[in-house]
Amino acid sequence: LPQIAVDGAQSAGKSSVLENIVGRDFLPRGGNMVTKRPLVLQLITSQGQEYAIFGHKPQQRFINYADVRVEIENDTKAVVREDMGVSNLPINLTIYSLHGNNKYKY
């Protein structure tokens, strides 16, 4: 399967690239480094309602993209302590979107 890896310096626009692909604002924003864990994002075409599912909460559908952002922040805080900086433990997120493309995993 084709995959895209987004890498770059802090505040270089990596999150903006992913949000433009998805067509929604769902990633945390801030003046300091806010992306402290890798995000494995799978975008799947949905014929009905758009929603997101996290790997750590597979039974819960997130309908509101602001809630997706909050869950990313909360799960990051649960794993990454203030003194750690970053973690290599990924957040797995699947977004079912009317604009999705089943061929790609980001």
Give per-residue pLDDT as tens, 53-66: 999 999 999 999 99
E strand spans, the chain: 39-45, 51-54, 57-62, 91-97
- Considering the domain boundaries, does residue 104 fall inside one? no
Q: Classify residue 18 by its DSSP letter.
A: H
- Considering the domain boundaries, does residue 106 fall inside one? no
Name beta bridge partners: 20: none
Query: Mean pLDDT across the chain, nearest whole number?
Result: 86
- The stretch 41-61 carries a mean pLDDT of 93
The phi-psi region of residue 34 (left if phi > 0; otherwise alpha if psi is between -120 and 50; otherwise beta) is: alpha
What is the percent of the chain with per-residue pLDDT over 90, rounded to a whole number?
A: 47
- Considering the domain boundaries, does residue 24 fall inside one? yes
- Considering the domain boundaries, does residue 103 fall inside one? no
C-alpha to C-alpha distance for 100 and 89, rounded to whole angstroms: 25
- Structural domain range at position 61: 14-97
16 contacts: CB under 8 Å, gap ≥ 6: none
Name the domain count of the chain: 1
- Considering the domain boundaries, does residue 8 fall inside one? no
- Considering the domain boundaries, does residue 3 fall inside one? no
Q: Which of 2-6, 39-43, 66-70, 98-102 has the lowest mean pLDDT?
A: 98-102
- The stretch 19-23 carries a mean pLDDT of 87
> Taking the model in full, what pTM does it have?
0.85
Give the per-residue pLDDT at 31. 72
- Considering the domain boundaries, does residue 1 fall inside one? no
Give the per-residue pLDDT at 27. 92
